[in-house]
Structure 1
């Protein structure tokens, strides 16, 4: 037994060294699991239930080094789903302080997430955690990729049917009363099978509380609704579960914004109008919260920035000015929305670094080129240039290299956002941006380190300090002058980066043009639509 425990501790230590240590102390779940069961009998000593969109639960097992992304991958494999990147599902945890669901990031340790949950729970209950209170993990769809619907698995369709039932109940899908009645009967056949002679009270309560819009329920007579449900339900007798799911999704997918995540917001610039911000594959749509009509569409290609601004959510986008616009009129348009703080995000790592590099470049360039030109005394000029060429000039060129390749990184990130949206979550993360910045900075220093030996400080025949050419002397070092100073500089600072910029920006322009055509087609569909019939948008 001691040997088994020693082997277990060794394997746990090896995994911790390989995958990284913990950030939080052990949670109550970990302690109870170790005390009540033998950790050496299984590879993963801890387990917790994850609530599925259908209301069912699936148990996942893990250890102290297991990441959320690994749990999500094993969960998708167990359930018969596509990988999370394609299916769009993520794991959420309930936040005891805000009573909302909080997204768990893929690189977080799941044990750390449970410890943080317990810490917030103690803060709200005077240092105690009720024995019956446990963390609730929920599998939810974070993104919906409309162009990948043909590869959906049967379990994903079941989850989507359950999710759309909640969306309908909360009024997040445009339904006419007739369509709502027909969908209710489809959900009845999907849930309970063939109809009996009458609708039972428990069946009726379950259906209207799960799949019928609350606003319609307030103005609908129960007797009429029950009678309509029963008559429509009987017409569906003999339909199996998958057939009902197929019809439900086929009807709901007629809405162009089907599957979009809708975030409640208040438009600050439009008399505090209540709106939904819908995240689509190709653009952001602003919807009227009452009628779910599209008020505005913002293609991702025009999106300049977004994030927190004085406890509000601000979107900055590029706009096209008319020919008769005022010369000082800006091309930037800012839209401010009041939103829940947990939905506001900001990612500005690359732009912050670029601002720092450009400021340093301008400051050092003034010391290198501007200030020496103000000196009229030849001796003072040569003395200043001796120190500038030895210490300031190499740093200036290092910052120039950083600036050029940071622009390449920003263009690459924009290319991923526009042309490869499915890979954005994998490659365009703050952590990877910091790694890229560190790599650019270190590489720039390594490339320009030899610049410190191009000049040296010497003395003229009168004993005054001056600068002397060292590596920059073409007669003494011709290979350095031709190979490094000329050819290598042209390739690394002009030919290679500008070729990458031209290719990526050209691809972005073509993709944005295609998205614009798709948006115009969508706008025509919405403009010429009528809400009188089911999903005739």
Structure 2
């Protein structure tokens, strides 16, 4: 593929057989045949035993763990993949940018994806619309009338024409240089509803919905529409995190000398709670923080099925400290349980579903490239 080994932070994901916009990270040690089998089984359960031959599993290869200090080590193919992944976030409204910048980036992606705007392409009256469909944010495009849409198409084509002769590598470099100016570039975003204001720990004044941006060194809370920072919680301050009934729970300590702790709850779907919990754990493992045991899952079933899966734990190294030496996770739960994520996710009715974290002095060592 032209990418580095597992230390590049890229992983395989599968689509979900039930929910359209849900993807599942595949544990690197998982067998592909097992993943396909579980995907097809879940699809049959959805259809009451009927086999749908019109659906097949879709796999994607994209970045999961992003490390700013490894930028110089990225291969050309990794940078190209990052362009397409970032473009997907831009189109879906997960990246803050103006209409003008959106057009500039859309023209760069048109050059990367379709090459020079030529006379042959100019005969295709829909080529500008194709560029908007693939590379322009939905929220800007949907607000346009017919005439406005035509004007934006022409503007996109004119900017695209100015890039004639630019190589793919050159356009990729320009694109990423621009996008990396956003402080949260590379972070994984989750929509969540805070149960209280992250800044005050009070139920009153809680923001309706926010982004949780999971980055290499901290979990950040961003305002939904502007994506402006609301709060930041470095992993060195995190005491406990994970599922707590129907919420994602984060307990942090404050370095104010008082030794006080703050408990934060965010309403999320159970598949997303599992995803964000494992992602934070993998970042902390890679940084050298201690993260004992994965969340305990008593049963994961789908649509009333009585099938259950064994509870598995993240293995520990050296006196109970689960410290990953690379970027890939050791959690065996993910590969086996992700296709059962829509079912009733029983979380020990009388217990919190959490990971506790204690930290080494100095925050641990940085992972190697």
TM-score (norm 2): 0.71
Contact between 1:349 and 1:430, CA under 8 Å: does it hold in 2? no
For residue 333 of structure 1, report the CA deviation from its aligned partner. Answer: 0.7
Higher relative contact order, structure no. (Cα contacts within 8 Å, ≥ 6 residues apart):
2
Distance 1:155 1:341 in 2: 34
For residue 228 of structure 1, report the CA deviation from its aligned partner. Answer: 1.7
Q: Deviations over 1:385-420 (max 9, x none)?
A: xxxxxxxxxxxxxxxxxxxxx99735x44xx4xxxx
Q: 2:261 maps to which residue? A: 332
SS of equivalent residue, structure 1 residue 190: helix
Contact between 2:16 and 2:24, CA under 8 Å: does it hold in 1? yes
Distance 2:104 2:28 in 1: 40
The 5 A counterparts of 1:21-36 are none
For residue 425 of structure 1, report the CA deviation from its aligned partner. Answer: 4.2
Distance 1:506 1:103 in 2: 31
For residue 260 of structure 1, report the CA deviation from its aligned partner. Answer: 1.1
Q: 2:3 maps to which residue? A: 81
* Structure 1 residue 506 corresponds to structure 2 residue 365: no
TM-score (norm 1): 0.50
Q: Deviations over 1:162-210 (max 9, x none)?
A: 1111111011111112111211221222222222465843322221111
For residue 317 of structure 1, report the CA deviation from its aligned partner. Answer: 0.7
Equivalent in 108, 119, 127 of residue 49 of structure 2: 127
Equivalent in 76, 99, 109 of residue 187 of structure 1: 109
Distance 2:271 2:188 in 1: 15
Q: 1:90 maps to which residue? A: 11
Equivalent in 170, 180, 203 of residue 253 of structure 1: 180
Equivalent in 140, 150, 154 of residue 216 of structure 1: 140
Task: Please say which structure displays the higher CA radius of gyration.
Answer: 1
Distance verdict in 2 for CA 1:210–1:301, change over 3 Å:
same
Q: Deviations over 1:320-340 (max 9, x none)?
A: 3466xxxxxx72211111112
Distance 2:294 2:215 in 1: 25
Q: Which has more helix, going by share of residues?
A: 1
For residue 349 of structure 1, report the CA deviation from its aligned partner. Answer: 5.2
For residue 245 of structure 1, report the CA deviation from its aligned partner. Answer: 1.1
Contact between 2:12 and 2:25, CA under 8 Å: does it hold in 1? yes
Q: Deviations over 1:446-478 (max 9, x none)?
A: xxxxxxxxxxxxxxxxxxxxxxxxxxxxxxxxx
The 5 A counterparts of 1:318-467 are 318-321=253-256, 331-345=260-274, 409=319, 412-413=321-322, 416=323, 423=326, 425=328, 429=331
* Structure 1 residue 236 corresponds to structure 2 residue 163: yes
The 5 A counterparts of 1:288-303 are 288-303=223-238
Contact between 1:92 and 1:138, CA under 8 Å: does it hold in 2? yes
Distance 2:231 2:208 in 1: 13
Q: 1:141 maps to which residue? A: 63
Q: 2:81 maps to which residue? A: 159
Distance 1:175 1:351 in 2: 37
Aligned alpha-carbon RMSD (Å): 2.9
